[in-house]
Structure 1
Amino acid sequence: MSSSYKNNYKKFLRQTYLAFAGVVIAVPFIIDASGGARPHASPTFNKTLADTVPARKDTVPPKVPKVTSKPGADTNVVSKDQDTSKEVTVDTVFIPKVSKDTLDAPVTYKAKDSIILMVPDKQFYLYGSANTKYKTIDLSAEKMNFDQNTGVLQATNAKDTAGKIIGRPVMNDGGQSFESDTLKYNFTSQKAKIYNTRSQYGEGYVHSELTKKASDNTIFGFKNGYTTCNLDTPHFSFRARKIKVIPDKLIISGPANLEIMGIPTPLYIPFAIFPITQGQRSGILPPQYVMNQQKGMGLENGGYYIGLGEHMDLTLRGDVYSYGSWSLTASPTYRKRYKYNGGLNLSFANTRFGDPAVPSEFTKSRDFRITWNHSMDSKARPGVNFGASVNFGSSSYNRFNVFDYSTRVNNNIGSSVTFSKTWQGKPYNLTLGLNHSQNLATRDVSISFPDGTFTVNTIYPFQPKEMVGTPKWYEKIGISYNGILRNQASFKDSLFGKQAMFNAMQSGMQHSIPVSFSIPVLKTLTFSPSVNYNEYWYTKKVFKKWNNNKRITDTSFGGVDTTYIPGFFTARDVTMSAALSTAVYGMYAFSKHSNIKAIRHVMRPTVSANYSPDFSSAYYYGYRYGKGDRDSMRISYFDGSIVGVPKAGTFGGLNFGLDNNLEMKVFSRKDTSGNHEKKVKLLDGFGITGSYNFVADSFKLSPFALYARTNLFDKVNISANATLNPYADDGRGHPVDKYVWQQGKFSLGRITTASVSLSTSFQSKDKKGQDKQKKIDSLENITNADAAMAAQQRQLQMMRNNPGEYVDFDIPWRVDLSYSLSYTNQLIPDSGGVVKRVTQYVSFNGDFSLTPKWKVGLNSGFDFTNMQIAYTNMYISRDLHCWQMSINLIPFGTFRQFSITINPKAGILRDLRINRSRQFYDF
């Protein structure tokens, strides 16, 4: 209905009502037009609009006269009581007849501008933000009209005064959404015809020139485009003439052509199937085409996903290459809500490099890798916890099957499986574990199993059950227990499972029983005496002997012969101590006009007297490690034991330490309090520790240990450690019983070890930080959010391989810096003298946005020890709205690489990626 006709019809009604004095008649019509769906009082009106306003029973039935009948009368309305001859009266209700074409559910409608009913033509019109609801259908549009004769509702858009289209029809039906120019819906058949529509299914959008919706919600489209771009004019789409949508299952099309920016490409596919199911579904995982210089052309990551129910699933993936290499990976995951979840990854690979006809250029390797992750909900069994993080495999797996540089240069992998139990209401704690470490470069493997720790928390045997008044000193005496069991084997990976592995097994156990208590002294001091008893159990003795005739190289002789003596051996030591500790505060206040208000210095000195008798005479022997007269020392028969060894000699002396903290108060306008002050930490802690042995015949003063740590401006983390030997040496590294400061040097001693590390991070403000945090919080609230653990591991691996594909364009720039320096100057007995080592390394990574859509990043470092650039990865990323392009370059090192990747952002099209990689190997 045009606007002019709309206005003429209003004028015609007004003139008609005035001519026939129709005010009384017009009022009921106006009320019905703006009210809800309900039957009219006039039977004629109800018959006319039976389809749009279905009849229903009144909540209060109309009153009708009572009908009575005598016994024996010919009627079914009245019956006679069997016990009496009294008449029974029955009320009769007359229900209005319902039209045959009445709908089976009510229709509610509204409009912002006006609603017009044309009774003779059985039509009504809605103008201005019209909305109609019927069952699960919710339809909104600028204009609507309904024809009762055909049962068809038509919705269209309109143009505003500027000529802009507004109020496009949008229909939501059971989770499906359709946005179009014109929509026609038949209430009787529940079919719809939609013109120039865009509908959304999960991450995908379907654009169709003409769409037909069947009564079972199946969609048939003509001249369609499927895309994951949310723009009205998408950047790319798969164009297909015909398409069918099965709700909550599939989108199926015939031959389709990929268009980019509306331009057809040579890429055609014979058919397309896009899943739109929700929840767990089994299906094929399409492979990715790659080109590898060593393995040839190949298909990677193809396989099958098997959904095994709510608690388990299985992913099978494989790789195959034209030169004969292949690999298989099985990744089952399991979960039980509020109980546990985990995932296993089993990989087997057969690698063939080069031509078998040329043995010098041919390489063949069979490798495996096993990873397992398991975590337990802390609420499942209070007091019990079990967790696992296993990473174990052959040493050459990374060399032939991993092309990520950072992973390949990481030669250390490890595993940990732990079980712990805490007895509720009791002071007992038990921990059992398995640990594994492996060096892929040297092929050294270390396995610790079983490892166990049993502890008894401090108990107070002299403390009464009910404390009354001030406790006595002996009531504060506490006793505890700590037992450690260790079993460890170190061997080459080629000896795994063989007798040599079991011969290398070391076992030991340590028992520790400390007794201690603390009481205040003179209000400012704390006195803490204690006694600690340690017992060591061993299953093997180690005896080393220097052999001058042992050939080391073709021209060098001299080495160590090692003998292992199995058996059961024990050792023990006792330490008695009494400690005093306190805290001293110092404050320096500045003038009132200074920005620095005050500086506070806190010192925490500790002094303890210790005595340990010498039980080591049976546990130590003289060991010569070189040809020189002074190349000897005393070592223990249990040297290198995994549970430790008792200290040699008697100790009777003092242990001392001093810890310091330094902070200041500065003026701050951001402080809302009246003081306008802010605390700034200058040093979180710095101090020195050492000891002095009064009963030793020489070298009574121990080396000093110095440390410092701080966090400047909440940005720069700094930590430093050093060890000072107060005794001078003879030039070959052997200490002499003479202090360094006695030689005229102003120093506490010689630096034997030192390390310094600094790290900082700067970044601009995240434009969408609050929205991202809300999304993270919502994911954390999902109980089994880590159900797809294997998929997350693959995603993490892809992030390492291609950091340019996972950049955050909402952060304009970011810089991370770290620096480390370490120094050692120690006497290494088996090396024949003093060894000095200096390592210095700086690493930096960051990115910045050239434009809001272009980002450049760099991960690199510099090794000052070898004076060479460390692993460097440069990348450029371009945000293409629904696509992303990344260029990755590793310009230095053995595994140089260049790659360019263009891929959609949507997860449903993650396998649709264009990748060109080239690797440069220097063998």
Structure 2
Amino acid sequence: MYKIKLAIILSLCLTGCLFAQQLATAVADTTKQEVKRDSLFYSADSVSYLAELEKIKLMSNASVDYQNSNIQADTILVDLKNKQASTKGDSYLKDKDQIAIGKEIFYDMETEWGMVIQGASRFDKGFYYGNEMRKVGKRVFDVDNGYFTTCDAQTPHFYILAHKLRLYQDNMVVGKPVIFYVNRFPIFALPFAAFSIKRGRETGILIPSPGYNSNDGKYVENLAFYYAYKNYADATLGLDYYEKTGWEISLASRYVKRYLLNGNMLARFRKTNMGPQASRNDWLFQLNHHQQLSQQSTLDADLQFISSKNIWEGSEDIDERLNEQITSKIAYRTPLWGSYFNMNANYTEDLSNDTKSITLPSVSYALPSKPIYELFSENNHGSSWWKGFSYSYNLRAVHNGFITDPNADLADVIYQNSQNAQGEYINQHNAGIKHATSLRFSHNLQGWLKLAQTFYYNEAWFDRDKNGNQLVRGADYRSSSSVSFSLYGIKNFNNFSLRAVRHIVTPSLSFNYHPDFTENDKFYSFGGINLSSADRSRRVSFNLGNKWQLKLLAGGKEKKLNDFFTINSSINYDFEKEGRRFSDINHSLKLNVGQLKYNFFQLSVRPYANIKQIPYDFEVNSWRDWDLPIADWNFRANSKLSISGDASYADYFPMAENQFAANKFFALESDSLQTDAETELETIEDIENLKLSSKNWSVNFSHDFRTDKDMFAEGDFYNSVRTSLNAKLTQNWTISYDNYIDLEANQLRSYSITLNRDMHCWKLYFRFTKQEDYWNYQFKFFNIKLPDSLLFQNSDHK
């Protein structure tokens, strides 16, 4: 129950900011006016005027314009008295933005009523054909013995045939009875059907997705109501019902206001049947929010709460199923004195160990290093030595809680400390403030010898210490001095692809000191609030850096490869330590060969290793006999091989478009509105002139290998490879495949395959995923123009 309360508390923290600013909209002034054309304009090769009947007969290339309407046909008869027009032969009618074609057209210019015989028209996202088409309302059309399709081919691949069709422009299509045809073959029939052809977002009931799988039985998904609020927000309230496993209700919302805020929310509640008399309830709440409070101040929230991992059962997202930890956070940021002031809240739940941690709040402010002289003067004083003094300051205030009690309530999570019978904390909360300052002097002596001296001071205030004392404070400090310089060596090559090698050697020596702070052991350490509790230390450190840089010549162009190979070695000498005062010698090696490219291939390899040696074990028997034992080492190499290219595809049998898509009317000599005309290829030139399309293909191999001294001694190592393939097999077939292979165990851990098939106006999608004993698949077949209205899908999982 505390999770619900905590989610409400964190969400309410956003409320004041969500509506802190008014959402204002401005209505632009306009002087636009429509000019109405009342005159009748007509033209034709031959014009006959019937005076007694007050009619005009236009023959051959006839055209009539009245207001926003235009009629073209072989023959047009205009009734001037009744303001009506009729046509014979191939006819064309344009009424505002609506176009219709047919064998005969009747049109009333006064009422804007019209009828088309053996006609066709284009509405919104589809095309409509019928024996008789009538305009019965301002945006309402009836079609007798007609069919609808979104296919723009001259011979449609599919269509929906109905004895009666009614079209509500920019709204929906209603028909009865309805038969669905594919390649002129009937697939299924319905006594009645209606589907939306609305553009953009529109409030209404969404089309549900029924189906069946072995796990859930019969089911209905996405039985939902969609609400759209202007251009700023929308929300979907949905219900999924499963015959065997139960039901789920969800609420999803999105919102956006340009330059101000954006975000999304998801809430789910699931009831799962566990047996005849048993069930389980699971819930999830997610919120992602970003708000620009001012020009540079922002508020961000990423909240996630769940009842248990069971809510992710059956999820197609592998990361969700494997997730062992969820985190919610709120962050506020605003500029302050040349830096940023940050305030955060964080809640993390470990699902595997059933523990929780909370940071509420966390406040931080960091003033970056700045020259001291800027506090007193804005003038640039040249290269004066005292300009090397600089300072920095950091502030951090934190309240932190760690909860291990599985039955903790809201008070236990927010602030309350609790102990078990043995006096051990099962719910522990700490609060504190830490100030961190530094004073630094740096100077380049003679332009090459770098000198630096730094003093650090930290002070922390705690709500209590380990002895039970309330409101306590402590401090620590340390100093550091260092000297370093760099040596450069260059070797040029004139007759090789390798033009030059530069070797940079950077030795550095530093001394660090801090007094005895063991009494600080009584203070807690949490959330970045801590103090040193180490013994007195006086330590000299020596570091030797080696870096090699290359200049290459490839294809007549020079290429620089910085940090091609680096070796860093370090050793310390501790004056306070008894016995062996030298530390181990640590070496780190990195090789960066960059990306090697050749035609279709691209290879990158990044090996790096760490080696540890004990100087007291070194033995030098002679100048040729050195024993340099290695105490410990580890090695890791990441490599990636990519093979990619372009494949060209040509459509050797291009599909003839209908007259609306081609924007060519009266181009057909056939008596039918549809023909099977195709472009014929007769010569080599015809083939070469075909429009080619290039599609990328790629194969990627990512290999990860790592081991260390102990693992290597036991013949153990980590060795894995990930493979991915993306290719367009043909003009319309696309395949994607990826897997994860554990080479050490010689086992395929997971894989997925995705197939896509473009079918002109339809698309087929199939995806199968398998990870150990879990598998799922998803199948979708949908219309590209009406993916929500014309959709067939199925899925299953185990």
TM-score (norm 1): 0.66
Residue range with higher mean Cα deviation, 463-472 or 279-288: 463-472
CA contact (8 A) 1:529 1:579 kept: no
**How has the CA–CA distance of structure 1 residues 231 and 461 changed in structure 2, closer, same or farther, with 3 Å as cutoff?**
same
Find the aligned partners of 1:457 and 1:648 in 2 and give their Cα distance.
Answer: 27
Partner SS, residue 253 of structure 2: strand
Structure 1 residue 255 corresponds to structure 2 residue 177: yes
Equivalent position amino acid for 2:78 in 1: D
**How has the CA–CA distance of structure 1 residues 333 and 172 changed in structure 2, closer, same or farther, with 3 Å as cutoff?**
same
Find the aligned partners of 2:463 and 2:256 in 1 and give their Cα distance.
Answer: 41
| 2:379 paired residue number | 467
| 2:559 paired residue number | 679
| 2:539 paired residue number | 652
Shift in Å, 1:419: 1.0
CA contact (8 A) 2:722 2:740 kept: yes
| 2:508 paired residue number | 607
| 2:424 paired residue number | none
Matches within 5 A, 1:405-424: 405-423=318-336
Find the aligned partners of 2:386 and 2:103 in 1 and give their Cα distance.
Answer: 90
Partner SS, residue 692 of structure 1: strand
Shift in Å, 1:588: 1.8
CA contact (8 A) 1:701 1:726 kept: no
Structure 1 residue 312 corresponds to structure 2 residue 209: no
Find the aligned partners of 1:372 and 1:480 in 2 and give their Cα distance.
Answer: 37
Find the aligned partners of 2:397 and 2:99 in 1 and give their Cα distance.
Answer: 64
| 2:157 paired residue number | 235
| 1:871 paired residue number | 750
**How has the CA–CA distance of structure 1 residues 767 and 742 changed in structure 2, closer, same or farther, with 3 Å as cutoff?**
farther
**How has the CA–CA distance of structure 1 residues 291 and 526 changed in structure 2, closer, same or farther, with 3 Å as cutoff?**
same
Find the aligned partners of 2:268 and 2:358 in 1 and give their Cα distance.
Answer: 21
Shift in Å, 1:887: 3.8
Equivalent position amino acid for 2:637 in 1: V
| 2:78 paired residue number | 147
**How has the CA–CA distance of structure 1 residues 640 and 339 changed in structure 2, closer, same or farther, with 3 Å as cutoff?**
closer
Shift in Å, 1:315: 1.3
**How has the CA–CA distance of structure 1 residues 263 and 470 changed in structure 2, closer, same or farther, with 3 Å as cutoff?**
same
**How has the CA–CA distance of structure 1 residues 170 and 811 changed in structure 2, closer, same or farther, with 3 Å as cutoff?**
farther
Structure 1 residue 173 corresponds to structure 2 residue 103: no
1:631-658, Cα deviation, whole Å (9 max, x unpaired): xxxxx97577644552734143135252
Aligned partner (choices 357, 366, 371) of residue 281 of structure 2: 366
Matches within 5 A, 1:441-590: 441-463=352-374, 465-467=377-379, 470-491=382-403, 494-495=406-407, 497=409, 501=413, 502=416, 503-538=427-462, 568=472, 570-582=474-486, 584=488, 586-590=490-494
Structure 1 residue 713 corresponds to structure 2 residue 591: no
Residue range with higher mean Cα deviation, 739-748 or 605-614: 739-748
Shift in Å, 1:488: 3.4
Shift in Å, 1:662: 2.5
| 1:671 paired residue number | none
Partner SS, residue 467 of structure 1: coil
Find the aligned partners of 2:714 and 2:357 in 1 and give their Cα distance.
Answer: 26
| 1:757 paired residue number | 638
CA contact (8 A) 1:313 1:332 kept: yes
**How has the CA–CA distance of structure 1 residues 603 and 188 changed in structure 2, closer, same or farther, with 3 Å as cutoff?**
same
Shift in Å, 1:421: 0.7
Equivalent position amino acid for 2:289 in 1: H
1:256-307, Cα deviation, whole Å (9 max, x unpaired): 222222211234152313242x454321123222334444322222221123
Find the aligned partners of 1:583 and 1:408 in 2 and give their Cα distance.
Answer: 54
CA contact (8 A) 2:499 2:552 kept: yes
Find the aligned partners of 1:287 and 1:691 in 2 and give their Cα distance.
Answer: 69
1:134-179, Cα deviation, whole Å (9 max, x unpaired): 544466x686746354755567887xxxxxxxxx8473634x4445
**How has the CA–CA distance of structure 1 residues 155 and 764 changed in structure 2, closer, same or farther, with 3 Å as cutoff?**
farther
Residue range with higher mean Cα deviation, 235-244 or 905-914: 905-914
Equivalent position amino acid for 1:605 in 2: T
1:36-70, Cα deviation, whole Å (9 max, x unpaired): xxxxxxxxxxxxxxxxxxxxxxxxxxxxxxxxxxx
Matches within 5 A, 1:97-246: 104-106=37-39, 116-118=46-48, 122-124=56-58, 127=61, 134-137=66-69, 145=76, 147=78, 149=80, 151=83, 169=92, 171=94, 173-174=96-97, 176-178=98-100, 183-214=105-136, 216-246=138-168
CA contact (8 A) 2:172 2:194 kept: no
CA contact (8 A) 2:474 2:531 kept: no
Shift in Å, 1:861: 1.0
Structure 1 residue 330 corresponds to structure 2 residue 209: no
Shift in Å, 1:860: 0.8
CA contact (8 A) 2:358 2:402 kept: yes
Query: Per chain length, whose mean CA-contact separation is higher, i.e. which structure has more relative contact order (CA < 8 Å, sep 6+)?
Result: 2
Equivalent position amino acid for 1:662 in 2: Q
5+ unaligned residues in a row in structure 2: which ranges?
A: 1-35, 417-426, 650-692
| 2:499 paired residue number | 598
1:730-766, Cα deviation, whole Å (9 max, x unpaired): xxxxxxx734677987658444544332345444349
**How has the CA–CA distance of structure 1 residues 200 and 742 changed in structure 2, closer, same or farther, with 3 Å as cutoff?**
farther
**How has the CA–CA distance of structure 1 residues 237 and 835 changed in structure 2, closer, same or farther, with 3 Å as cutoff?**
same
CA contact (8 A) 2:225 2:238 kept: yes
Equivalent position amino acid for 1:681 in 2: L
**How has the CA–CA distance of structure 1 residues 224 and 430 changed in structure 2, closer, same or farther, with 3 Å as cutoff?**
same
CA contact (8 A) 1:394 1:493 kept: no
RMSD of equivalent CA atoms: 3.9
Partner SS, residue 772 of structure 2: coil
CA contact (8 A) 2:282 2:311 kept: no
1:311-356, Cα deviation, whole Å (9 max, x unpaired): 4332111222223622211123333232111111111112123444
Shift in Å, 1:394: 2.7
Partner SS, residue 852 of structure 1: coil
Find the aligned partners of 2:542 and 2:431 in 1 and give their Cα distance.
Answer: 32
Equivalent position amino acid for 2:331 in 1: T
Aligned partner (choices 435, 440, 443) of residue 346 of structure 2: 435
Structure 1 residue 816 corresponds to structure 2 residue 694: no
**How has the CA–CA distance of structure 1 residues 122 and 874 changed in structure 2, closer, same or farther, with 3 Å as cutoff?**
closer
Partner SS, residue 618 of structure 1: helix
**How has the CA–CA distance of structure 1 residues 667 and 845 changed in structure 2, closer, same or farther, with 3 Å as cutoff?**
closer
Q: What percentage of residue pairs aligned between the two structures are identical?
A: 15
Partner SS, residue 397 of structure 1: helix
Shift in Å, 1:422: 0.8
Equivalent position amino acid for 2:239 in 1: G
1:597-647, Cα deviation, whole Å (9 max, x unpaired): 613436362624232213333245xxxxxxxxxxxxxxx975776445527
CA contact (8 A) 2:47 2:58 kept: yes
Find the aligned partners of 1:740 and 1:506 in 2 and give their Cα distance.
Answer: 48
Structure with the higher strand share, 1 or 2: 2
Structure ID, larger Rg = 1
Total equivalences in the alignment: 690
CA contact (8 A) 1:349 1:401 kept: no
| 1:10 paired residue number | none
Partner SS, residue 387 of structure 2: helix
| 1:396 paired residue number | 309
Find the aligned partners of 1:252 and 1:207 in 2 and give their Cα distance.
Answer: 14
